Amino acid sequence: MDRLLNVLIRLKDLDRRVLFIFVALAVAIPVLKPMGLPIRSSRESVDFHRELTSLKAGDTILFSFDYDPQTRAELDPMTRVIWTTCFEKGVKIIALTLYPGGVGVADEISKELAEIHGKTYGEDYLFLGYNPDWSGTMLRLGESFRKTYPTDQLGRETGSFPIMENVDSYADTPLLVSVSSSAMAEYWAIWAGGKFGQKVITGNTAIQAVLVYPYYYSGQISGFLGGLKGAAELEMLTGQIGAATRGMDSQTTGHVLMVVFILLGNVAFLAERLRKRRAA
C-alpha cells in the first residue's frame, strides 16, 4: 500500500516535459494514422448548414473575416467549406475584415478558392478590405456598402464592380457569415441582426463558442460552428472532407489524455492527503 502511495505521490512531481511528450504523441500519431472516429452533427451546425445551402444561385452574401493568422488552424477549414459551397452554388460573396491581420488571410484564401472554381474578382466575389472602427462599420453597412467602403482593399472604386450593381445594404444580402475569433460574431448579431434584421450565422473559435450559445438560443444567430468540431461537422454535412475532419481524431485523443492527467492529478493529491492523515 505504501509503495502504491509513493508512486501516486511521485506523479505530482513529474517533469512537465514528460507531459509535453505525451501530449505531442497523443496529437501527432492520429495526424499520421487517422482512426476515423465518428463525428455527430450538432443542432447548431445543422442549422448553419441549412442556412448556407438554402441560398440560391445569384444571391449575394456578406462574409466577414473576423480573425487573423493566429487562429487560422481553427477557422480556415470553416472558411474554405463556406466559400467552396457558395462558389459551387453560384452564390456571390462580398468579403471584408474587421481585423488588420485579416487582410492577408482573406486575400490568400479568396484568391486560392476563386482560382480553383474559376471565379472572377468583382463579378463573383469582392474583397472590401479592412475598415477601422468595427462598430461604426457594422452600423454604416446597414445604410450603404458603397459609402462605408468607397474603395476595395486596393483602392479601386467599389461601385464600379458588377457584383455591386444591385447590392448596397443588408436588405440586399440574404445572409451574413462571420467567421470570428472574438466577440465580433455577437456584435454582428446585435447590430446587423438586431438593428437591420440581417440574418447572421457564425463560425467561432472553440473558446468563443461558449459565449455564442445564448445568441443562438435567443434566435439572434441562426446557426453557428464551434471550433474544429464545428468545422468538421460542416465538412461532413457538405461532403467536403478536409483538415478539420482529419484533425478530429487527434482532438479526441488529446482530450482523453487531458482527462487522464486530471484524474491522475486528483488521485496523487488524495494519496498525499491520505499519507499525511496516516502520519498524524
Partner 1 sequence: METVGIWVAAFFTLAIFSFLFRENPIYRFAEHLLVGVSAGYYFVQYLYSSVYKKFWVPVFQDGQWLLIGGGILGGLMLMRLHRRTEWLARFAIAFYVAAWSGYLIPSIIQGQILTQIQSTIIPPHDASGMTWAAHLSAWLVLIGVVSILVYFYFSHEHEGPLRIVSKIGILYLMIGFGASFGYTIMGRITLLIGRFQFLFYDWLGLTPL
Please name every residue paired with 227 in a beta bridge, in sequence order, or none if there are none. none
Around Cβ 31, how many Cβ atoms within 10 Å?
12
Nearest-approach distance from CB 27 to partner 1, in angstroms: 5
- Nearest-CA neighbor of 108 among 74, 80, 84, 130? 80
Among residues 89, 254, 264, 275, the one that binds partner 1 under rule CB under 8 A? 254
Residue 206 CB burial class (10 angstroms; 0-12, 13-18, ≥19): middle
Binders of partner 1 in range 123-152 (CB under 8 A): 129-132, 135, 139, 150-151
Instruction: Compose the 86-115 pattern: x for residues touching partner 1 by CB under 8 A, - for all others.
Output: --------------xx-x------------
Determine contact, residues 181/66, Cβ cutoff 8 Å: yes
Q: Is 159 in the site for partner 1 (CB under 8 A)?
A: no
Interacting stretch for partner 1, rule CB under 8 A, among 44-52, 110-118, 182-190, 271-279?
Answer: 182-190
- Nearest-CA neighbor of 223 among 252, 194, 195, 199? 199
Task: Tell me the HSE value of 1 on the side-chain side, using a 13 A CA sphere.
Answer: 5
Interacting stretch for partner 1, rule CB under 8 A, among 67-75, 105-113, 117-125, 160-168?
Answer: 67-75
Q: Is 205 in the site for partner 1 (CB under 8 A)?
A: yes
* CB neighbour list of residue 242: distance below 8 Å, 6 or more residues apart: 77, 80, 81, 235
Q: Is 264 in the site for partner 1 (CB under 8 A)?
A: no
Instruction: Compose the 206-225 pattern: x for residues touching partner 1 by CB under 8 A, - for all others.
Output: xx-xx---x--xxxx-----
Q: Which residues bind partner 1 (CB under 8 A)?
A: 17, 20, 23-24, 27-28, 31-34, 72-74, 100-101, 103, 129-132, 135, 139, 150-151, 155, 186, 189-191, 193-195, 205-207, 209-210, 214, 217-220, 226-229, 243, 246-247, 250-251, 254-255, 258
